[in-house]
Amino acid sequence: MNNSNISKMASCNMTFNQGSVPLATVYSLVLIFGLPTNLLTLTLSALKIRRKNVLSVYLFTLSLSDLIYLATIPWWVDYIRNFNRWSHGPLACQVTGYIFFSNLYISILLLCCISVDRCLVVLYPIEAQWRRRRRVAVAVCLTVWAAVMLVHSPVFILPEVRNTKDNNDSCFETVPMPSMVVKFNYARFCIGFCLPLAILVTTNFLIFRRIQSRPFLNTAQKRKVKHLALAVILIFLVCFAPYHVILLSRALVSSLSEDSCWFEEQIYGTSTAFLCLCTVNSAVNPFLYMFSSESARQELIRDLRLLFFLPQPRESGTETYFLNSGPGPKMSSSQRKEVTSDKK
């Protein structure tokens, strides 16, 4: 391989001549699958919001964030195929990096909002029916966006986020890690990963435990809820845990060692692969939250028929009541009595 295809990073002897094809392939697949599914989720969520569905506000915001990120993937694919040489100027580097990392933590926090909202519906069905409001969900989503974007805004004013030493044209890959970036990465691990993970585990456990006590749900329905809860936690761990563990290890080595290049050189390939794995979540979310359950598929068919002005099929299933909209008119009198007695 020609030397022109190998770039060095700062004072560390790091090369980028391996793994470009697999990484570019994964990013491309995320774009191919994530773009149409998130567009569909965005459209269907908008329809549900018009019917005063609170959960759809979070799904709409999540899909919108993922779509904004997906629009930057061609830039990252070009960067990877060019052996980590950024050829689109410093401002484009800052904007695409800002969108990438903002979307990462917007997605994580919105996943927590979805789980908390579902948990409230299951634990407090009567209160949830009357107290959940779209405007509250909108305010929460706007707060999440504003907080994450504000936290990541220093990328536009701090020169440390882009490496320009030794004529290196890498983007968002400053090695060794500056001290301010080290501190920021500790916060990302604790607040951006550990806390959301604790929220997801707790809320999904509470959902599963309460659903198990519902006598009017059959075994198959309870099993689906259990599998969905496990899938939410498992996918979160698979997509986000490896990268944040590597992030923490890099921060620790940079804090404890005067020269962390030896570690950065060994861990770089793994770190970029795990960072790429985070993006898979953008393609998985629609399948997990919109197309996973029988009731969700029934609603999908109903919404598509509504979109194209087709006759509506008959609806069935009680799973939507627990996980999507709270108690509604489709509950039978015996089910309403059971919910009311459960609250006493």
Could you tell me if 48 and 289 are in contact, meaning their C-beta atoms sit under 8 angstroms apart? Answer: no
Tell me the whole-structure pTM to 2 decimals.
Answer: 0.81
* Side-chain-side CA neighbours of residue 233 (13 Å): 17
Residue 137's identity, in one-letter code, is A
In whole angstroms, what separates CA 310 from the centre of its chain? 33
Which single residue is written with the structure tokens 């773009």?
35
327 cis-preceded (ω within 30 degrees of 0): no
Pick the CATH number of 17-160+174-343 from 1.20.1070.10, 3.40.1450.10, 3.20.20.70, 3.60.40.10: 1.20.1070.10
- Enumerate the β-bridge partners of residue 9: 12
d(CA 68, CA 49): 20
Domains of the chain: which residue ranges?
17-160+174-343
* Contact partners, residue 86, CB within 8 Å, separation at least 6: 79, 92, 93, 169, 170, 171
Could you tell me if 6 and 15 are in contact, meaning their C-beta atoms sit under 8 angstroms apart? Answer: yes
What is the pLDDT tens value at each position of the chain, 344 positions in all?
A: 333 333 444 457 666 655 688 899 999 999 999 999 999 889 888 888 887 888 889 999 999 999 999 999 999 999 888 888 888 888 888 899 899 989 999 999 999 999 998 888 888 877 777 777 888 999 999 999 999 999 988 877 765 555 444 445 778 777 777 788 888 899 999 999 999 999 999 999 998 888 887 776 677 777 877 888 888 899 999 999 999 999 999 999 988 887 788 888 888 888 889 999 999 999 998 888 765 555 555 666 666 666 665 565 554 444 444 444 444 444 444 444 443 433 33
Structure tokens given for 186: 């500790």
* Side-chain-side CA neighbours of residue 126 (13 Å): 10
Backbone angles phi, psi at 315, to 5 degrees: -95, 150
Which of helix, strand or coil describes residue 280?
helix
Structure tokens given for 249: 């290890």
DSSP string over 124-145: SHHHHHHH--HHHHHHHHHHHH
Helices (H), 152-293: 179-189, 195-212, 219-256, 261-289
